[in-house]
Amino acid sequence: MKFVFFPAALTAAAALVPTFADAQAGDVATRDVVTIQGGRPTSLPAQIPTTIEGITAAQIEARINAFDSEDALKYLPSLNVRKRFTGDYDHAVLASRASGTGNSARSLVYADGILLSNLLGNGATYTPRWGMVTPEEIERVDVLYGPFSAAYPGNSVGAVVDYQTRMPSKLEGHVRLAGFAQRFKQYGTRDNYYGKQGSASLGDRVGAFAWWVDVARLDSDGQPIGFANKLVSSGNAGTADATPVTGAIPGRNASDRDWLILGATNQVRTVQDHAKVKLAYDVTPVLRASYTLGWWRNDAERTSQSYLRDGAGNAVTAGVIAVDGRRYTLLPSDFAPSRGALEHLMHGVSLKRHAKDVFDWEVAISQYDYRKDLVRTPTVFAAGIDSPGAGNVTDMKGSGWNTVALKGAWRPGPAHVVDIGVQRDAARLRTRVVNSADWIAGTAGRPVSTFNGQTRLESLYAQDTWRIDERWKATLGVRLERWQAFGGEMSAAGGGLLPFGARKETSWSPKAALAWRAGDDWTIKASGGRAVRNPTAAELFQGSIVDEQIVNTDPNLRAERSWTGELTAERMTGAGTVRATWFHETTRDALYSQPLTATVSTVQNVGRIRTNGVELAQQADNVLWRGFTVNSSLTYADSRIVENDANRASVGKRQPRVPRWRANLLASWQWNDSWTGTFGLRYSGRQFGSLDNSDRNGLTYMGVSDYLVADTRLRYRFDRHWSGAVGVDNLNGEKYWAFHPYTQRTVVAELKFDL
């Protein structure tokens, strides 16, 4: 569906009301460079010379139907999470102003300073580990736009998301029960899908010691996210030795070619368990020691449903079939089920001084471990999820990452705050595939492939924020990074391990910001910075083996180098503020998978991508009625490929997954202490999935479409302990795609008890 008037209408509506851009709750926003002054230790740097938006726990609870932690980002400016269904654990990638949902390594996600971003690779399957945070434990979420803070590596080029979770000051406990129901209609599928979620948390503070325990379980039946298909042109004329079938649905694929939809695949049932323990001890009133242990387990099943029927009405999933006088061969992979068993463990330790005097410091160490990570898929025709037979078992046990950081905030005088730090981030990728005689339970078998590699980033940074006078403030920063890639190796079936060469590079990233308080209400700020996004292990150590040689790879793959700038004007009133930001980004050597030959694609550098855009954001309280709050944003981005020697057909085309228009609107009315009602809109313009924009048909499987989605929520607080809510996501039943289909109309309900 097309709503070409929507961006202009939203802009006009935003101009009619007083507006506000969220600052750090409990902190002081100087409107030029945000100064973190909260009483509780935070993982954010002391000075933030970039656009920042945020949302609090109370706002999430009142306004958003949140089942996963990424739902908290739904209505923040310029952001989109490619969440296909509730509990989407392997494709929910974050997109920002100039980065699409295929670029997971161009953003960073943290929880209490612990890295959740999966920098083992880049792309849809390397989603942040959202499951390590539940919506109920969130205290607030902050988003930093752009690579303007020297405290973060080049992966911050898109955005940095920082979750701060709850730590009690007194005894508190919470229990939440929730459920959802979705009616899904697509191609030959007409069905209902249900899910339920339960969580409980308890915490207390006794003297200098505080503790928190949080447990949760999600049981979710998602809609099918894949569809078996055959191009009409791939069929051979004739029906000899073929089974005539009915039920194939004709259509057009993303490239606008005739194809047949044969059935629904990848209908995901996921059961996820979460547990977290947090301990904190105040060694002194200004020195806190903290420990976090997070555990996440997921048992997932993916099933398929064939639309094909033989003459007797039986479902057909194998063999040679005949459709409209053409013969097609069904492969085991067309309707293959799969099973996943994952168990991940996370640790975080920190010691932080937060006196806010001459010098504060922090030491933080974290580790994320793939304790168990098995995916099982049959390689023979399987009638269902319990059908025995041979299959591939992919084991990623041993993969993970760890970080070490020493940070300081030096205040030599009232005019200067200097952030300094030393950091080390290391990632370890381990992937082993075997073909087992028992795809359901086997762990050993004939080796199919091995794929290993490691990366390490060691960094030094310094950033000086200087208050020149009452109206002017400047920030200068620089980051020195030493990147290494080593231990790369791969093998094919029956062969030994072949090594890749090691890599090592050093880079500098300068940062700068200048803010001018033009009056009591207006602030103008300019920010600029360079970001170097180094290749991940999965991007660098890739290819195939031919005659005992690694081919179809680029051993000289270069890092992405981005220069980003923004100019912001912000006006603050009694009701709120309005912000307008012009942004520009030029990225050289962007990392994208591109055709290497007619049949092989591999990650290669795209010469240059240029993005120009404008972002408008507003928030206003007590609009028309007391308690009525309006938040909205509108983003325009013209993102173009301007150089690409590897694929000249892409020059002049739009960057994949970056729409020209994005917009959000969230209106909430708390008309008394008990009732709160919310209405939201989420809009995205036309997108493309390919570099050459050849996927012209977005409204189909494998396409990327525009969308306009409406959400509602009604919350009632019975008393100080009990509350409940009902809501609808995708109220208008929009059918929209990002390669896979998103959820359709979904009704949600929850009941919560607060101690």
pLDDT of residue 42: 59
Is 9 within a domain? no
Both tokens of residue 269? 């049932």
Minimum mean pLDDT range among 42-56, 218-232, 328-342: 42-56
pLDDT at position 383 is: 83
Give the mean model confidence (pLDDT) for residues 338-347.
98
Q: Decide if 34 is inside a domain.
A: no
Q: Does residue 18 lie within any of the structural domains?
A: no
Distance of CA 218 to the CA centre of its chain: 19
Mean of the per-residue pLDDT values for the chain?
93
**Residue among 532, 449, 461 at smallest CA distance from 496:** 449
Please check whether residue 702 lies inside any domain of the structure. Answer: yes
Residue 29 domain flag: no
Q: How far is CA 587 from CA 51, 151, 612, in A?
A: 20, 20, 12
Evaluate if residue 533 carries a pLDDT over 60. yes
Q: What is the mean pLDDT of residues 706-730?
A: 98
- Average pLDDT, stretch 620-637? 95
- Distance, in Å, from the CA atom of 517 to the CA atom of 75, rounded to the nearest integer, reads 28
Domain that holds residue 528: 52-203+212-754
User: What distances in angstroms separate CA 227 from CA 187, 210, 739, one per listed residue?
Assistant: 9, 50, 11
- Does some domain include residue 31? no
CB atoms within 10 A of CB 207: 7
Q: Which of 126, 97, 32, 69 is nearest to 455 (CA)?
A: 126
pLDDT tens profile 378-421 = 999 988 899 999 999 999 999 999 999 999 999 999 999 999 99
Helices marked H in 477-608: 537-540
Whether 29 shows a pLDDT value over 90: the answer reads no
Query: For the domain that residue 668 is a member of, what is the CATH number?
Result: 2.40.170.20
Nearest C-alpha neighbor of 197 from the set 755, 713, 749: 749
- Candidates 608, 716, 589; CA nearest to 652 is 608
Residue 290 within a domain = yes
- Residues 254-307 have pLDDT tens digits of 999 999 999 999 999 999 999 999 999 999 999 999 999 999 999 999 999 999
pLDDT number for residue 34: 55
Q: Please tell me the pTM assigned to this model.
A: 0.93
Query: For 483-582, where are the alpha helices, taking DSSP H only?
Result: 537-540
In the chain, the number of structural domains is 1
pLDDT at 26 over 50: no
Determine how many CB atoms are found less than 10 A away from the CB of residue 242.
18
Residue 37, in any domain of the structure: no
- Sort residue 69 into left (φ over 0), alpha (ψ -120 to 50) or beta: alpha
Q: Can you tell me the mean pLDDT for 327-334?
A: 96
Q: What is the torsion angle, in degrees rounded to the nearest 10, for the CA atoms of residue 86, residue 91, residue 93 and residue 99?
A: -140
What pLDDT does 32 receive? 59
With 90 as the cut, is the pLDDT of residue 320 above it?
yes
Give yes or no for residue 450 having a pLDDT over 60: yes
Of 638, 680, 630, 632, nearest in space to 658 by CA:
638
Between 91 and 43, the higher pLDDT residue: 91
